[in-house]
């Protein structure tokens, strides 16, 4: 079975995010970029399926400018077999990404698509769901466990009340949550081999998709600085503050 | 507690701008390597260093190691980290492909080793010593020995040690007493070795000791020493007669077991001769440049770690009060800034010299004929400077790291004191500063009549001309001009006066070595400024990083490069007052 996994280039989670002086966007100039941590989990899940003999091929896909090839190389170093960059300007919006991926998936015909549940830059948490809807595939979001029995994919989901287990028929789409796995470090020999694995570039035109903006970014502001906390001297005082000041109980 | 982040931007800048890395790869047989690949390697090595090795640094310091019934027990967590390190293939980075290596240039190995040593100096010593064992067997071992040991050392499945020192044979290895007696197809080794780094541990199934010993018919002195492989476990799986009998209690690097090794307590440890008899010390010398540059690199690594921690503290520690009553961090105080700038500029100069010197090893190996000799001469010349100057400077940098912390720096929990203590070994092992300096004045200057140094000074002169021609760096140009003249004067003085004063070379040697260290640092920081300026003008690269490089280069010129003036003054004072007091006056 072929598994397609998506990879997004985002600001490295270690970097302290700064807002541009004119508030037009986050300042990404010369900032260290990395693979979105939820995508790392998705890649790891796909590779484990391959190592378990379930997946026969793992294809990593990223949407963005040529710079995202760096993250595709990382996916290849981690164990993906080949990579496809869909060449667009940086930061395409979720629906556009979903449309491009849907078109690619029609051509690639994978049995399973694994995406991160969200990207840590804009935290939209919607591409996977949109993609499943466009494909009219079953979807299981926020996965914390995946297993395959026959043609049925069993996915454990993390939901507010606890865990929910779904059974999906393939082809299907899964988005990963934090606890699905702990991604490995790429090994040196695999970093070397990644250079020689195929990386293909496709344009939206080749996929028959024309990009269109549906949303407009108006303003980006840094979150308000957290105020220092205070110590209360009794449980009563705490309850009083929660009730009358914070108004949460 | 301190976090470590690999300064990949500076490392890539040095590789690209000062080492000319892609050209080196293209010209010297590393077709598979380029800067893009190195960047990917830095990413993954940096992650492993920050996330796995660095958090164990303090654990190693506080828990240390212990000697148990089954041998040396390393710090808890080190074995898991080692397996992750090994399974990721890092020990194989520079080894030849024939033995499972990745055949990457030495300069890449050096740049990546900076990460391991910064993250956890004690841990990183283990693969560093294994590297020494690999080199010994690779260059001098028979095909059978290579077959038996190399692949598993390269893969990191086994680790290696270097057993040279004995209680009476430290800097003077000619005094080695350990004996080797022929016994069929092998030898029986008997004797005691001390200061054996990672001489025993439980992280791997086997440990391969390389041991210097004397054969029964060996000539007296340096020409009578042979090199042997003594595995902890023999090919048939039985335990060899070689063990750690005690562990040293040390000032620093507590996570690295320093063993007293006893060979032959039960009749003789089985050993296999490496190469020819009586050539052991010569073999050691062939690896010396690599090993000494490796320790110099540790000086850079510990300085970088200390700098990162001090910088974080300086940003966080609130000790000034504004008029409105709000407080500000100590980084706003000029003297804290001075200390941080000394640390930053010294560290960047050290990195530049470490990588440029490491690349010379690649160029020497990858060239033919005269070109190979020219590069080899440069390697020989720079090695004692890299070892001596980088490790001496690391003392000052880790001292400043603690100083910036004030009283908190003196408290062990802060972690800064560990870097200060860990750094202290670096000027001692693999040839003390005194030994490096003697090497520089003797074999590296006097023996070739100062020619190799003259060619380096000529190259520095070319950088000076470029600085002057650009007209944009009057501060650096003035400092480099003066410092270059200091270097020329020191060289001339040594060449002119050492014949008439036998004590001169030994008296001036350390100051001479330090002078050339600062000068080499100034040379490369000047080149860095020229390259950064060119990139800025071409609108290429990160302007914040490049502008910081210009400022750091200027600071180095003003605060560190000018030190060569006082070093020259001391050198000119010669040996007189050093030796004037008769011995019985001490």
| Chain A, chain B: beta-carbon pairs less than 8 Å apart | 47
Distance CA B201, CA B183 (A): 28
Q: In this complex, is the C-beta atom of A97 within 8 Å of any C-beta atom belonging to chain B? A: no
Q: Are residues B272 and B391 in the same domain?
A: no
Of A44, A175, A182, the C-alpha closest to A112 is A175
Please indicate, yes or no, whether residues B389 and B404 belong to a single structural domain of this protein.
yes
Q: How far apart are CA A13 and CA B323, in angstroms?
A: 36
Using the 3D structure, point to which of B431, B465, B495 is the last residue of a domain.
B431
Q: How far apart are CA B491 and CA B497, in angstroms?
A: 10
Taking only the tens place, the pLDDT of each residue in A152-170 is 999 999 999 899 999 999 9
Decide if A14 touches B, using CB distance below 8 A: yes
Interface contact B5-A74, CB threshold 8 A: no
Rounded to whole angstroms, what are the CA distances from B232 to B91, B175, B211, B319?
20, 25, 12, 55
Q: Which residues of A touch B44 (CB under 8 A)?
A: 77, 185-186, 188, 191
Chain A 31-50, residues with CB within 8 Å of chain B CB atoms: 32, 34
Residues 6+ apart with CB under 8 A from B420: B306, B398, B399, B401, B402
Compute the distance between CA of residue B137 and CA of residue B143 in angstroms, rounded to an integer.
Answer: 9
Alpha helices in B323-366 (DSSP H): 334-366
Let me know if B430 is a catalytic residue: yes
Judging contacts by C-beta atoms under 8 Å, the chain B residues touching residue A14 are 5
Contact with chain B for residue A223, Cβ under 8 A = no
Residue B520 lies in a domain: yes
Cβ distance of B88 and A194 shorter than 8 Å: no
Model pTM score: 0.93
Tens digits of per-residue pLDDT, B433-486?
Answer: 999 999 999 999 999 999 999 999 999 999 999 999 999 999 999 999 999 999
Q: Parallel, antiparallel, or unpaired for β A9-11 and A172-176?
A: unpaired
B151 and B29 both lie in a single domain = yes
Count of Cβ atoms closer than 10 Å to residue B454 Cβ: 16
pLDDT digits (tens, 9 = 90+) for A123-151: 999 999 999 999 999 999 999 999 998 88
Spell out which residues of chain A touch residue B544, defining contact as CB-CB under 8 Å.
30
Which of B240, B256, B285 marks a domain boundary?
A: B285
Whether residue B83 is contained in a domain is answered as yes
| Count of structural domains, chain B | 4
Residues B35 and B96 in one domain: yes
Cβ contact B89–A189 (<8 Å): yes
Last residue of a domain, one of B131, B159, B187: B159
Q: Is residue B313 part of a domain?
A: yes
Specify whether the CB–CB gap between B281 and B225 falls below 8 A: yes
> Residue B349, SS3?
helix
Count of Cβ atoms closer than 10 Å to residue B493 Cβ: 17
Question: In whole angstroms, what is the distance from residue A184 CA to residue A65 CA?
Answer: 26
Write out the H or E segment, with its range, that includes residue B272. strand B269-274
CATH number at residue B172: 2.40.110.20
Contact B511, B491 (CB under 8 A): no
**Is any Cβ of chain B less than 8 angstroms from the Cβ of A230?**
no
What is Dmax (Cα atoms) for chain A?
Answer: 67
- Exposed/middle/buried for B68, CB within 10 Å: 0-12, 13-18, 19+? exposed
Q: Alpha carbon of A240 to those of A227, A228, B99: distances in Å?
A: 19, 19, 71
Residue of B nearest to A186 (CA): B44
Instruction: Note the pLDDT of residue A224.
Output: 85
Contacts of residues A191-195 at CB distance under 8 Å and 24 or more positions apart, as own/partner, are A191/A77, A191/B37, A191/B40, A191/B41, A191/B44, A192/B32, A192/B37, A192/B102, A193/A76, A193/A77, A194/A73, A194/A74, A194/A76, A194/A77, A194/B40, A195/A73, A195/B32, A195/B37
Considering the domain architecture, whether residues B155 and B165 belong to the same structural domain is answered as no
Both B196 and B312 in one domain: the answer is: no
B166 and B155 in one domain? no
Task: Tell me which residue of B537, B468, B313 sits closest to B406, measured CA to CA.
Answer: B313
Structural domain boundaries enclosing B537: 448-577
Could you tell me which CATH number the domain at A2-245 has? 3.40.50.620
DSSP-derived secondary structure letter, B207: E
- Helix, strand or coil, per DSSP, at residue B576: helix
CB-count exposure of residue A245 (10 Å: 0-12, 13-18, 19+): exposed
Same domain, B272 and B398: no
CA distance A147 to A156: 9
> Are B131 and B15 part of one and the same domain?
yes
Measured from the Cβ of residue B161, the count of other Cβ atoms closer than 10 Å reads 26
Which of B263, B269, B257, B258 has its CA nearest to residue B177? B263
Identity of the residue in B5, B41, B545 whose CB atom sits nearest the CB atom of A30: B545
Same domain, B65 and B82: yes
Task: Provide residues of B within 8 Å CB-CB of chain A.
Answer: 5, 8, 32, 37, 39-41, 43-44, 47-48, 84, 87-90, 92-93, 102, 542-545
Distances (CA, A) of B110 to B13, B300, B368: 15, 11, 23
Lowest mean pLDDT across A20-34, A91-105, B75-89, B508-522: A20-34
Q: Exactly one of B17, B135, B392, B430 is catalytic; name it.
A: B430
Spatial distance between the Cα atoms of B128 and B295, rounded to a whole number of angstroms:
9
In a domain, B510, yes or no: yes
Based on the fold, state whether residues B221 and B181 are members of the same structural domain.
yes
Please list every residue in chain B whose beta carbon sits closer than 8 Å to the beta carbon of residue A34: 43
**Is B509:B438 a contact under the CB 8 Å cutoff?**
yes
Q: DSSP of B403-430, one letter per residue? A: HHTTHHHHSGGGSHHHHHHHHGGGGTSS
CATH number at residue B378: 1.20.140.10
> B68 pairs with which residues across the strands?
B71
CA distance B299 to A205: 54
Same-domain check for residues B69 and B176: no
Say whether B37 and A29 touch across the interface (CB within 8 A).
Answer: no
Partner residues linked to B67 by β-bridges: B72
Distance CA B454, CA B450 (A): 6
Q: Are A45 and A12 in contact (CB under 8 A)?
A: no
Among B89, B79, B111, smallest CA distance to B11 is for B111
Picking from B44, B102, B311 by the largest number of A CB atoms within 10 A of its own CB, the best residue to mutate is B44
Residue B1, pLDDT score:
46
What does the pLDDT average to over A81-96?
94
The angle subtended at Cα B365 by Cα B433 and Cα B37, nearest 5°, is 95
For chain B, which ranges sit under pLDDT 70? 1-2
Instruction: Return all residues near B264 (Cβ < 8 A) that are at least 6 apart.
Output: B188, B189, B190, B191, B241, B242
How much is the pLDDT for B284? Answer: 86
The ipTM (two decimal places) reads 0.90
> How far, in Å, CA of B212 to CA of B195, rounded?
14
Residues in chain A within 8 Å Cβ distance of B5? 14
Task: Report whether B396 contacts B424 (CB < 8 A).
Answer: no
- B44 and A185 within 8 Å at the Cβ level: the answer is yes
What CA–CA distances, in Å, run from B555 to B186, B388, B401, B565, B568? 59, 22, 18, 16, 21
Strand partners, B259: B196, B247
- The DSSP H or E segment spanning A172 is strand A172-176
End-to-end CA distance of chain B: 45
Distance CA B490, CA B473 (A): 25
Name the residue facing B48 among A74, A185, A190 (closest C-beta). Answer: A185
How far is CA A62 from its chain centroid?
10
Number of other residues whose CB lies within 10 A of the CB of residue B519: 26
Q: Are A19 and A27 in contact (CB under 8 A)?
A: yes
User: CA B291 to CA B204: how far, in whole Å?
Assistant: 23
What gap in Å lies between CA B231 and CA B239, rounded to an integer? 9
Cα Rg, chain B, nearest whole Å: 24
Measured between alpha carbons, how far is B231 from B269 in angstroms, rounded to an integer?
Answer: 9
Residue B390 lies in a domain: yes
Identify the CA nearest to B127 among candidates A195, A194, A188: A188
Length of chain A: 249
Choosing among B3, B40, B315, B544, which should be mutated to test the A contact, i.e. which has the most A CBs within 10 A?
B40
Give the domain ranges of chain A: 2-245
Alpha helices in chain A (DSSP H): 37-51, 69-78, 94-108, 127-135, 188-194, 235-240
The span from the first CA to the last CA of chain A, in angstroms, equals: 51
Residue B177 CB neighbours (<10 A)? 13
């Amino acid at each position: 079975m072929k598994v397609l996994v998506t990879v997004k280039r985002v600001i490295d989670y270690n970097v302290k995010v700064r807002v541009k002086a004119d508030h037009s966007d986050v300042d990404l100039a010369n900032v260290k970029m990395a693979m979105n941590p939820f995508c790392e989990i998705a890649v790891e899940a796909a590779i484990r399926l391959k190592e378990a003999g379930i997946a026969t091929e793992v294809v990593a896909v990223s949407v963005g400018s040529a710079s995202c090839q760096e993250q595709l190389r990382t996916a290849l170093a981690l164990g993906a077999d080949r990579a496809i960059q869909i060449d667009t300007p940086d930061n395409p919006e979720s629906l556009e990404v979903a449309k491009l991926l849907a078109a690619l998936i029609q051509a690639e015909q994978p049995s399973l698509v694994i995406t991160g549940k969200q990207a840590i830059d804009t935290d939209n948490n919607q591409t996977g769901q949109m993609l499943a809807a466009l494909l009219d595939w079953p979807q299981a979001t926020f996965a914390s466990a995946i297993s395959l029995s026959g043609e049925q994919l069993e996915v454990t989901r993390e939901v507010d009340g606890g865990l929910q287990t779904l059974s999906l028929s393939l082809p299907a789409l899964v988005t990963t949550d934090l606890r699905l796995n702990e991604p490995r470090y790429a090994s040196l020999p695999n970093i070397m081999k990644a250079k020689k694995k195929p990386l293909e570039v496709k344009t939206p035109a080749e996929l028959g998709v024309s990009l269109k903006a549906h949303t407009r970014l108006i303003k980006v502001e840094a979150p308000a600085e957290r105020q220092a906390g205070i110590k209360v001297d009794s449980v009563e005082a705490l309850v009083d503050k929660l009730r009358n000041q914070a108004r949460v109980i | 507690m301190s976090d470590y982040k690999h300064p990949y931007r500076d490392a890539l800048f040095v590789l690209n701008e000062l080492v000319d890395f892609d050209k080196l790869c293209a010209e010297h047989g590393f077709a598979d390597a380029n800067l893009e690949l190195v960047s990917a390697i830095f990413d993954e090595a940096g992650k492993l260093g920050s996330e796995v090795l660095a958090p164990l640094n303090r654990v190693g310091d506080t828990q240390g190691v212990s000697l148990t019934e089954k041998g040396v027990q390393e710090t808890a967590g080190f074995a898991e980290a080692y397996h992750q390190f090994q399974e990721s293939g890092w020990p194989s980075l520079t080894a030849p492909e024939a033995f499972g290596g990745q055949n990457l240039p030495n300069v890449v190995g050096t740049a990546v080793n900076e990460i391991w040593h910064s993250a956890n100096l004690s841990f990183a010593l283990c693969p560093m010593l294994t590297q020494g064992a690999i080199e010994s067997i690779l260059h001098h071992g028979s095909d059978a020995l290579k077959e038996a040991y190399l692949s598993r050392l390269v893969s990191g499945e086994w680790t290696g040690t270097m057993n040279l020192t004995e209680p009476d044979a430290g800097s003077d290895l000619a005094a080695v007493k350990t004996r080797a007696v022929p016994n069929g197809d092998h030898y029986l080794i008997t004797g005691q070795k001390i200061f054996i780094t990672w001489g025993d541990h439980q992280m791997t199934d086997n440990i391969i000791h390389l041991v210097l010993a004397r054969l029964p018919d060996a000539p007296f002195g340096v020409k009578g020493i042979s090199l042997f492989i003594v595995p902890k476990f023999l090919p048939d799986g039985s335990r060899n007669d070689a063990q750690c009998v005690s562990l040293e209690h040390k000032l620093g690097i507590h996570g690295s077991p320093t063993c007293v090794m006893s060979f032959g307590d039960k009749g003789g440890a089985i050993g296999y001769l490496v190469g020819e008899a009586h050539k052991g010390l010569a073999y050691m010398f062939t690896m010396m440049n690599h090993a000494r540059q490796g320790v110099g690199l540790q000086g850079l690594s510990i300085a970088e770690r200390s700098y990162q921690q001090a910088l974080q503290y300086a940003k966080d520690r609130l000790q000034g009060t504004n008029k409105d009553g709000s407080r500000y961090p100590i980084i706003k105080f000029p003297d804290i800034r001075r200390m941080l700038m000394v640390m930053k500029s010294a560290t960047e100069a050290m990195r530049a010299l470490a990588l440029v010197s490491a690349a010379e090893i690649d160029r020497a190996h990858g060239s033919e004929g005269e070109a190979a000799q020219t590069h080899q001469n440069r390697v020989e010349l720079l090695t004692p400077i890299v070892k001596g100057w980088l490790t001496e400077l690391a003392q000052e940098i880790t001292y400043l790291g603690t100083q910036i912390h004030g009283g908190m720096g003196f408290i062990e929990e802060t972690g800064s004191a560990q870097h200060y203590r860990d750094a202290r070994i670096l000027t001692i092992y693999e040839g003390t500063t005194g030994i490096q300096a003697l090497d520089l004045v003797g074999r590296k200057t006097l023996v070739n009549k100062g020619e190799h140094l003259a060619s380096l000074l000529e190259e520095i002169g070319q950088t000076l001309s470029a600085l002057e021609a650009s007209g944009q760096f009057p501060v650096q140009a003035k400092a480099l001009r003066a410092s270059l003249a200091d270097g020329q004067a020191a060289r001339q003085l040594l060449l002119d006066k050492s014949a008439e004063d036998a004590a001169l070379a030994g008296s001036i040697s350390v100051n001479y070595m330090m002078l050339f260290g600062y000068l080499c640092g100034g040379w490369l920081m000047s080149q860095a400024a020229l390259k950064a300026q060119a990139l800025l003008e071409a609108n290429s690269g990160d302007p914040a990083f490049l502008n910081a490089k210009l400022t750091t280069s200027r600071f180095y010129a003003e605060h560190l490069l000018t030190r060569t003036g006082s070093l020259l003054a001391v050198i000119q004072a010669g040996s007189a007052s050093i030796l004037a007091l008769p011995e019985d006056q001490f």
